[in-house]
Structure 1
Amino acid sequence: MSVDQGWPAPSATGAVSGRVTVPGSKSISNRALILAALADGPSHLTGLLAARDTSLMRSALVALGVGISESGSTVTVTPGSLKGPASVDCGLAGTVMRFVPPVAALADGMVAFDGDAYARERPMGVILDALRALGVRIDDGGTGRMPYTVSGTGSVRGGTVTLDASGSSQFVSALLLAGARYDAGVDIRHDGKPVPSQPHLDMSVAMLRERGVQVDDAEPNRWVVAPGPIRALDTAIEPDLSNAAPFLAAAVLTGGEVTVTGWPAETTQPGDHLRDIFTRFGADVTQTEAGLTVRGTGRIVGCDLDLSEVGELSPVIAAVAAFADGPSYLRGIAHLRGHETDRLAALETEFNALGGDVTQTADGLEIRPKPLRGGLFHTYADHRMAHAAAVLGLLVDGLLIENIGTTAKTLPEFPELWSELVS
């Protein structure tokens, strides 16, 4: 068995400047696929992300009886009669392991779920228990984790369910996306600490309303989805703004200028917060019809940031903070301990192994800049960790990234795009 010696992270020899076009949003792509699969007719999706997470979602839906075909840049999704027996490989995709079970509950037959080794460590009990409360039969061996089996009867009773979604907004989105197809719809009530990643919830609600689904979210911590059809809708997928983070960070760290093309004027994507975050770090940020441009100013200001709504950006933000002129505090991200890996522990371990000074707090990280040295940066099969390592490598000679291929989860082209920009 070969040992991964690490991908040499390109170092910046000067100011990094250029234009980058990132592929479609994973979050929008997988939500669009789910909604198209449950719609009242065929939907045509353009700009759909082609990456591991979206491939896993497509395969899961096809296994359940959905028709998916491709012609050029257009993917056509044709709803079918959902049925088992079927097997779903979730890989390490949270949107697959959490969004597909509420759909599988509508199938007639047994649907088995499993995934990567790390996926078996991700908490699933909240969504599985919620589905049980709505009348769905699920066997997880009492573990609240994968593997598990959903035994559908062709319909779901639906109704009111109370859950604690403080660990992930995906628990709520999962029920929102399928809830209109349940006999009584779904009345979701959150009871616990604040739900993280509010932009992702806004995205789910907005996409449902675009398709004619009635969603009442006027009351805090409650979402009521009326039963009814989901209208087929042709959709153009926005660029993935979270995947733009490392490219824009390169401008911040090197005093360069990077433009990400196609940045939407209005969006529910969490990545849009990068405009404010990089401004607070001291960069100049402008948005035009051409895209979003970030210019480094030669100074990186230590920040105190609440990232509760944008936790997925934390690894790259931590990498920028490692070169600031003072300490930074990343708050509101305790839920990252349940992501692809325990991201807080992973960031602390890997940064400190390079000579850094990073400490976990109850809900985040304290980052005190120190000179860093090269070495092997472990990614824990987490694409965001690989992005963070690449950003560090701009200013740290001899940094090697273990398993750079993990970036294929949402951006298979990352190594090539990154090398082209930095060189």
Structure 2
Amino acid sequence: MSKIIFNEHQIRQLELNPNVASVSDRSIQYTGDFKVRAVLENQEGKGPSQIFEEAGFDLTVIGRVKAKSALERWRKTYQTYGTEGLLTERRGKSNAGGGRPKQDDSLERRLAKAEARIKYLTAENELLKSSRSSRGGREANQLTPTERYHVINTVIRTFRLKNLVRTLCEIAGVSRSGYYAWLKRAEKDSLREERDYADYLLLKQLHDRRHGKIGYRGLYMEVLDLIGSPMNHKRILRLMRKYGIVTKIRTKNAYRKLAKATQEHRTVPNHLNRQFDQDEPGKVFVTDITYLPTRKGQNVYLSCVKDVATREIVAHHLSTSLHMDLVLQTTRKLEEHLDGNLHPEAMIHSDQGFHYTHPAYQSRIRELGLVQSMSRRGNCLDNAPIESFFGHLKDHVEHRSALDLSEVRSMVDSYIAYYNSERKQWNLKKMTPEQYRSHLIAA
């Protein structure tokens, strides 16, 4: 038996082909004229694929192997019985006597109805057996109308019954119009399943490309970039749940982030006060330090400055040491980024770490003309934008596979370039930080 199983939509499409006599979910019966024409064209040099494609068949549906085996069988029949053998062939039944003689129509009709009843009740019993373990023992009168419609359709497709829909509906106790309405819905459901699966393959490819570290909003923007038209974000979320596409989410360590901050040096007030909704580039910066362990267990420390309005990383520096040079080099790169274009209300916000309370750092900030602001003691949420960036960076940068500082630097530089220039963000009107900065400046 063929391993190919046709869905409702494919069966409908095959039934529209004039070269098809009947279709079930696993087999196709072709017309005698097509069989004869196919054999003659094959003798003239045409291959099975060409013959079937010219006859209007989609080989991705019926399968090239099925087409080839069918043609081989027809050639053997043609060699033995000639054209008449192909026109009168009945697979699985003897043709020697030319078929069973016709009997009285009424008697034959009654026999067909009786056979249909037996076949329906057998299929219904099989359905009850299969559902007994999951739903408990059920009687035939407990079957839902949808289940009865499914049994009717299975019987018709399996035994290739014709003109017995009304009879089967009467046996099942359902209406004929209800069955055809269900059949129409089933075809739509089949088409929807095909579309869902095609979209799933696209989303899975994009999800794998980002190593599973992208959510439905990120996939929305990736699809928009790839095909030029959007896919509804609710549809993306539904397909992710349906096919089990799971995004890797970092776990929070609140205790490490809420550790007590030192006040060895002078602190300053929290001027920012969580006012993260800024619309002027270069007005508010946030900064912090994180660590990135390498394969050998050595920590590489990363200091970053982020523009709150555009979410762009405007300066960063890496070092294997926590000396003051780490933040001083970062401020030097921030000065290069500003290039003399300083906002009159420019502010830089940090936590109360050792580096930011150090007199050397505070003096440098005043030289740059920036107002210094600090989070409240032990409250990482006051500096949430930079903490969020560090979380995303650690999700994507495989720093634990790096051997030394140079490898980590290469990884971090590459990610920050991607983050600033390529990674679209939902809350930036689906733009990258650099695009959003240009947008704000133009506005």
**TM-score under structure 1 normalisation?**
0.23
Bigger proportion of residues as helix: 2
Greater Rg over alpha carbons, structure: 2
Bigger proportion of residues as strand: 1
| Higher RCO (CA 8 Å, separation ≥ 6 residues) | 1
**TM-score under structure 2 normalisation?**
0.22
